[in-house]
Structure 1
Amino acid sequence: MRKKLEVNPKYASYDMLKQLYQTEKDVRLKIRLLAILHFFEGYTSLEVAKLLHQSDSTVRRYLHRYNKAGLAGLKDIPHPPKKNILTNDELKEIDKALSSSPRNAGLNFSNWTGQLIVSFVKNKFNKTIALGTAYNILHRLNYSKTRPKKTDKRVNKETLENFRSELNGLLESKDEDTVIVYEDEAIITSEPTISSVWSKKGTQTVVKTNTSGSRKRNVIFGAVNPETGELSQQFSDKGNTENFKSFLK
């Protein structure tokens, strides 16, 4: 059977503690004072824990701290601020590295991960950080995990913008007898799907791919009339000119 805990009476009387409890505004300190009052009243630690909805070990710790240091023992001990492992300049270098492929930093991987950041910090600054710290760095630098968008390396931005401008002009100038449909092809391919990567919040990462190589695929041609919602589609084994002309007919 455990020995019943008692309050060291040298620091304050029951009435003094009760008065302090009634005037105390700090909620945490108020609960600790109430625990000491209950011990003064003869309750066991299990009974005090039940009354305060706290664990037995917690209320026993309150009493041990009070018996050792009085009221000062019930107050929270201020902890010194943690020293940052990485400097602001080092964080800027990490931010710069994250904006490009890990391969540019000497790491033979396509996408950044927490473990790669751990390796980068070790290689670059000779500092060791935990995996959790690496993810904290990502969030601190305003990164989130998103799925990037693919674009063909051969795309000419100027040509694309000119096409968009001409299309807008055509839509605005067409007569009532002209029907314009939006056409596109969907390709089901053996090319691996794009996984999520860490990127700055509010931006979308672009992965450049080479579509000139041979690979297995199936093509779905589709067109929709934006005015009526009418949809047409055709399934083909190849996305070539012959199949495209067949779809247009």
Structure 2
Amino acid sequence: MNTHTSVELFKLAKSEKDARKKIRYLAVAHYRDNHNKTQIAAMLHVSRRMVNEWVKRYLNEGLTGLDAKKPIGKRCYLNDAQQKQLCQYIEKYSQNDNGGRLTGYRIKQYIEDEFNVSYHPNAIYKLLEKLGFSWITSRSRHPKQSEQVQQDFKKTANGIDQNDPAIYQPE
């Protein structure tokens, strides 16, 4: 399992592209060369505790123990069912044609009202990213907006009919 010589570990370190993993390989290689952990920490400019951790993981798990561990992070306040319900609400509301915008504040209010969970406004956007939504705002539409009136207006210059003889008489 962990039968690598220090020379093999130095070669692995030399070929490794990830700088953090390279330092782990070097720490274990120096340990195999019978340096003490305090000396290794000083050589690599890391704490002795980290050297202890890396050597322990190498001895227990081999080279896979030196791989980067995924950070655990903070647990989400909403469970899976609540996240799914929030996704449905966002999708339903974002496809609403009667003009309103779905803002972070409105999503925050919905979460507080529905699930009795309080989020900081900045955390709402991180939650949306985690749920697979990108925060792109579209141009808002007024609820009383008429597409036909806009098209009619575009056919005239500044709302004035080009064919009106009272305005465009030749001189």
TM-score by length of 1: 0.40
Report the AA paired with residue 7 of structure 2. Answer: K
CA offset digits 1:14-46 (Å, max 9, x no partner): xx2321441465444443121122233526144
The equivalent of 1:73 in structure 2 is 65
Q: Is 2:110 the partner of 1:120?
A: yes
Equivalence map 1:106-185=2 (5 Å): 112-114=103-105, 116-124=106-114, 126=115, 128=117, 130-131=119-120, 133-139=123-129, 140-144=132-136, 158-167=148-157, 170=162
How far is the alpha carbon of 1:91 from its aligned partner?
A: 0.5
Report the AA paired with residue 51 of structure 2. Answer: V
Distance 1:56 1:176 in 2: 92
Q: State how many pairs are aligned.
A: 148
Report the AA paired with residue 65 of structure 1. Answer: R
Distance 2:28 2:117 in 1: 44
Q: Does the CA contact (< 8 Å) of 1:49 and 1:56 recur in 2?
A: no
How far is the alpha carbon of 1:94 from its aligned partner?
A: 2.2
CA offset digits 1:137-157 (Å, max 9, x no partner): 4443232368x668695x765
The equivalent of 2:87 in structure 1 is 91
TM-score by length of 2: 0.53
The equivalent of 1:42 in structure 2 is 35
Report the AA paired with residue 35 of structure 2. Answer: G
Q: Does the CA contact (< 8 Å) of 1:118 and 1:130 recur in 2?
A: yes
Against the structure 1 CA distance between its residues 129 and 63, is the aligned structure 2 distance closer, same or farther, given a 3 Å change threshold? farther
Report the AA paired with residue 34 of structure 1. Answer: L
Task: Give 1:22's match in structure 2, choosing from 11, 15, 19.
Answer: 11
Q: Does the CA contact (< 8 Å) of 2:93 and 2:102 recur in 1?
A: no
Identical pairs, percent:
16
CA offset digits 1:187-219 (Å, max 9, x no partner): xxxxxxxxxxxxxxxxxxxxxxxxxxxxxxxxx
Against the structure 1 CA distance between its residues 46 and 37, is the aligned structure 2 distance closer, same or farther, given a 3 Å change threshold? same
Report the AA paired with residue 17 of structure 1. Answer: S
Against the structure 1 CA distance between its residues 128 and 48, is the aligned structure 2 distance closer, same or farther, given a 3 Å change threshold? farther
Secondary structure in structure 2 of the residue aligned to 1:62: helix
Against the structure 1 CA distance between its residues 20 and 111, is the aligned structure 2 distance closer, same or farther, given a 3 Å change threshold? closer
Q: Is 2:50 the partner of 1:58?
A: yes
Report the AA paired with residue 143 of structure 1. Answer: W
How far is the alpha carbon of 1:67 from its aligned partner?
A: 4.3
Secondary structure in structure 2 of the residue aligned to 1:42: coil
Report the AA paired with residue 157 of structure 2. Answer: L
Q: Root-mean-square deviation (CA), in Å?
A: 4.7
Equivalence map 1:185-224=2 (5 Å): none
Q: Does the CA contact (< 8 Å) of 1:98 and 1:112 recur in 2?
A: no
Q: Is 2:23 the partner of 1:31?
A: yes
How far is the alpha carbon of 1:162 from its aligned partner?
A: 2.7
Against the structure 1 CA distance between its residues 78 and 17, is the aligned structure 2 distance closer, same or farther, given a 3 Å change threshold? farther
Which is helix-richer, 1 or 2?
2
